[in-house]
Amino acid sequence: MKTILCFGDSNTWGFDPASITAPFPRRHPITARWTGRLAAELGPEFRVIEEGQNGRTTVHDDPLNVCRNGKDYLPACLESHKPIDIVVLMLGTNDLKSFYNLPPGEIANGAAVLAKMILASDAGPGNQPPKLLLVCPPLVGDLSHLPDLAAKIPHGLARSQQFPRYYEALATALGCAYLNSQEIVQTSPVDGIHLEASEHARLGSAVAAKLREIV
């Protein structure tokens, strides 16, 4: 059995866009999340581990929430789930928040730190590094109907549009597999950040196809 670790933010956690204004976030059902679709399509010879967290960043501490720094958690995550055959890494959207004040290229550099940690780790079979699939985060949609969220992620559409060229260049430099989610899914018009169940299905199928190529 091969182990796939999916390390990401709220879109890997399965955040339901309809709950954006609710008192607390709700998740899509397990089978509706892209990780669930991935597991279903890959079949019983694969174990898919869902490691998504709301608000997770690449390498930055969130001043309003504890334990959101992906760099701090990643080593323990790799250690606890080893041996891992492939890590699917999709992070960067939360780095667009205003209090980080980061251009898209620097956000990709944060993803690079995590990618290099994965590729230098002993978390794969035989204490070798696992393989890596780097996924460019989805495009941020229209936030104008949610002014508080728009203020939190200023110019989200324009800035996230620049992600693919930086993430693809990073994957090329590292020699790892790459997938541009912006060519596959669209974020929900409800909140402009998260994926509806139908888009989770599309992403899960695309990731499954890419992983079959890697394997």
d(C-alpha 158, C-alpha 169), whole Å: 19
Residue 62 has a pLDDT of 96
Report how far Cα 7 is from the mean position of its chain's Cα atoms.
Answer: 6
Is-contact 194 17, C-beta < 8 A? yes
Full strand arrangement of the beta sheet holding 2-8: 46-52, 2-8, 86-90, 131-136, 177-180
Residue 73 has a pLDDT of 98
Phi, psi of 35 (to 5 degrees): -70, -35
Residue 1 has a pLDDT of 94
Residue 20 has a pLDDT of 92
- Both tokens of residue 159? 């800035």
Is-contact 85 130, C-beta < 8 A? yes
Residue 29 has a pLDDT of 98
- pLDDT tens for each residue of 77-94: 999 999 999 999 999 999
Residue 89 has a pLDDT of 99
Residue 150 has a pLDDT of 96
Residue 158 has a pLDDT of 97
Task: Convert 71-89 to b/e letters by CB count within 10 Å (16 or more is b).
Answer: eeebeebbeebbebbbbbb
* Sequence-distant contacts of 141-144: CB under 8 A, at least 24 apart: 141/186, 141/187, 141/188, 141/189, 141/191, 141/192, 141/193, 142/189, 142/192, 143/191, 143/192, 143/193
d(C-alpha 67, C-alpha 56), whole Å: 8
- Both tokens of residue 82? 């080893």
Q: Can you list the domains of the chain with their CATH numbers?
A: 2-214 (3.40.50.1110)
Neighbouring residues of 122: CB distance < 8 A, sequence distance ≥ 6: 82, 128, 129
Give me the residues of the chain with pLDDT under 70, please: none
d(C-alpha 206, C-alpha 180), whole Å: 10
Residue 74 has a pLDDT of 98
Is-contact 192 144, C-beta < 8 A? no
Report the mean per-residue pLDDT for the chain: 97
The model carries a pTM of 0.97
